[in-house]
Structure 1
């Protein structure tokens, strides 16, 4: 037996199944003998209609060898039928025609045929050229199926990660005297944005919004680290800036060098209506107060996961504000204000501030929806970063 160069040894364990479609019984048997010689399984059909029946009976076909000139249904009609069926269209086709009919072969190749050969076949064609074409086609098919299975597995894992990430987000937020509305829009199914509200004591509620660089599974894993650590640090230190610096130390130890985080952390005391808060590289909260324009509260600050906490650049400050009845606080991640439209213009913090200010008479949930709707209208297509929006009405 000829030792075919490039022959895939896996085919010996799992031989490919080839469908030979030709109206000539002699050609079918000749090709069948060649295929069996190299260990392939063979199914035959005398025209395109019979090939369709064969594919229905044996959907695990790896390759189709197709004559172009046949009765009942010719090769071109079969290729047209195949083009309208995605699963069949993924099976490679090697077409055959007479030596002087290259126009027909050109048309067949334009109809998504993988390769061709001309008849009559020489002895070398039978022993080397055709088997090599078949090997390459089958290997391509196997690689495609393997890639598809890997993609399906990856998509499943991403779906499971996205479902798991939903458990990171708050449920049924209940803060005394506060109405809360929020929305999270991951750009890839799994995102790195995280926010939460949690009871620190009977008189204190912790809140955090964080944005991990990048998006996807790695970012979501970093968000789980934040969820595990930041409530404990806020409970211990009470001061949000100290909690963020403690988180910074852990991020430097637990995450890769190219991962960084921006964050807002706050402690709200309902009894005294006081909010103490700090940011680390995070967009400023927006405060809307009755009879006053909506305004930004924060200043620039360093990000987490980049510098050591004892570095001179890592200066985080706590701010305290007295919350008045009717105050509205909007927290968000930079995916909102940095979203771009088709003209490459960013949504921008000024646009967001104006929306918050103009929504003074709008209910909490309605304002959140209004911001989301304006964002999608502005972008006019997919959003390229995770977006988190939180509206708190006091």
Structure 2
């Protein structure tokens, strides 16, 4: 007896009423003419009614503008016997705001299976839809930003490529070759070879800190300035000083350049160079089978006005090789996190000391690709090589 009474504590009506009165979704029942026969409190509030009973006998036409569409849906459900699931609608009840709702409706059938009414559940999804719209707007804004960045990178890449010489100046007894490996972002690496006269040729390599259009534009300004002063036949240290004083007003202590500038003088058989915080050049003494690092002293271009750069000179012998490069070559790391390093480059230079300069740049590229594997370069790489025959 006790067990039976416990089973019958709640009647079906009590269970249904408890569900309808407490669930936040809008629940309603309609007859075959789409008239409300019962609603829960949430639906009554949504319709602007004081209590659920006030909806009985009314239709959607009494409350909102899209009633014709709702009526057509319900009549189709009654005819087909198939439910309508998760229809997204934009509705306005009374004088309230337009909101987004998700509606599911199903037929109520009698004992013979005939559809005699409609049961519906409508969920307010306005906050969710607003959030989705915000996310969509943010996604579109992000995509527009990415397109803008891509466009700017293409512009910067075109600027950068236009600055690289299509052909390298050559003079008798001095052979020159170059290598450039771009990374996915645009850097400010630049090299150039400028013939001064029949005996002297200038080797220039520089790297603007940062990436993108600003770095490319600064590199372009630097090239114009260097070309002008090198053509005047000035000493490397004087060229660096003049370029520094010209660019410092534009750089405004926000961007800096590292530079290595050297002049090969075949008549004097010497290499005169000045350096502005750039990685040291390498001088391969072919006859002695040794590699010398050409460091020199000097701060970044754009760091201090009227700075006096130092200049050094080294004698050259036939077969000696001068190698200039940007830090992207020696500071790159492979998948294992190992740096390429300057010693690796020195060993490569010694190993291929008998190779012509154009063959040597190929060996440098091959060694770099082998070392990096499938890891893309994180910085541009520029290499400039000259040899005195």
Structure 2 length normalisation: TM-score?
A: 0.66
Alpha-carbon shift at residue 30 of structure 1 (Å): 6.8
Kept in 2: contact 1:188–1:216 (CA 8 A): no
Partners of 2:84 and 2:330 lie apart in 1 by 67
SS at match of 1:151: helix
When you count strand as a share of all residues, which structure comes out higher? 2
1:340 aligns with 2:340: no
Q: For structure 1, which runs of at least 5 residues remain unmatched after alignment? A: 3-22, 41-62, 68-95, 99-118
Q: Give the 3 Å change call, closer, same or farther, for CA 374–243 of structure 1 in structure 2.
A: same
- What is the count of residue pairs matched by the alignment? 294
Match of 1:392 in 2: 386
Match of 1:165 in 2: 160
Choose the corresponding residue for 2:376, options 379, 382, 385: 382
Kept in 2: contact 1:284–1:296 (CA 8 A): no
Deviation digits for residues 172-213 of structure 1 (CA, Å, limit 9, x no counterpart) = 113113332212223334111111112334553332101112
Partners of 2:236 and 2:151 lie apart in 1 by 37
Alpha-carbon shift at residue 158 of structure 1 (Å): 0.6
Match of 1:34 in 2: 91
Partners of 2:288 and 2:315 lie apart in 1 by 15
Alpha-carbon shift at residue 226 of structure 1 (Å): 0.8
Partners of 1:238 and 1:33 lie apart in 2 by 76
More displaced, 193-202 or 168-177?
Answer: 193-202
Kept in 2: contact 1:229–1:247 (CA 8 A): yes
Partners of 1:35 and 1:275 lie apart in 2 by 84
Partners of 1:277 and 1:213 lie apart in 2 by 22
Kept in 2: contact 1:180–1:390 (CA 8 A): yes
Match of 2:264 in 1: 268
Q: How big is the alpha-carbon RMSD for the aligned residues of Structure 1 and Structure 2?
A: 3.4
After superposition, residues 241-390 of structure 1 pair within 5 angstroms as 241-305=237-301, 307-310=303-306, 314-380=307-373, 381-390=375-384
Kept in 1: contact 2:164–2:191 (CA 8 A): yes
After superposition, residues 148-297 of structure 1 pair within 5 angstroms as 148-177=143-172, 178-236=174-232, 238-297=234-293
Kept in 2: contact 1:284–1:298 (CA 8 A): yes
Q: Give the 3 Å change call, closer, same or farther, for CA 239–134 of structure 1 in structure 2.
A: same
After superposition, residues 96-135 of structure 1 pair within 5 angstroms as 120-122=120-122, 125=123, 129-135=124-130
Partners of 2:211 and 2:334 lie apart in 1 by 20
Partners of 1:217 and 1:150 lie apart in 2 by 15
More displaced, 259-268 or 179-188?
Answer: 179-188
After superposition, residues 60-139 of structure 1 pair within 5 angstroms as 120-122=120-122, 125=123, 129-139=124-134
Partners of 1:384 and 1:35 lie apart in 2 by 55
Alpha-carbon shift at residue 353 of structure 1 (Å): 0.9
Choose the corresponding residue for 1:140, options 135, 142, 148: 135
Partners of 1:132 and 1:240 lie apart in 2 by 67
Match of 2:55 in 1: none
Match of 2:23 in 1: none
SS at match of 2:193: strand
Structure 1 length normalisation: TM-score?
A: 0.65
Alpha-carbon shift at residue 244 of structure 1 (Å): 0.6
Partners of 2:105 and 2:219 lie apart in 1 by 60
Q: Give the 3 Å change call, closer, same or farther, for CA 120–192 of structure 1 in structure 2.
A: farther
Q: For structure 2, which runs of at least 5 residues remain unmatched after alignment? A: 1-45, 47-75, 107-118
Q: Give the 3 Å change call, closer, same or farther, for CA 217–371 of structure 1 in structure 2.
A: same
Alpha-carbon shift at residue 97 of structure 1 (Å): 11
Alpha-carbon shift at residue 263 of structure 1 (Å): 0.6
SS at match of 1:219: helix
Deviation digits for residues 309-336 of structure 1 (CA, Å, limit 9, x no counterpart) = 44xxx55322233433322111101111
Q: Which has the larger radius of gyration?
A: 2
Kept in 2: contact 1:200–1:231 (CA 8 A): no
More displaced, 242-251 or 265-274?
Answer: 265-274
Partners of 2:299 and 2:312 lie apart in 1 by 17
Partners of 1:269 and 1:283 lie apart in 2 by 22
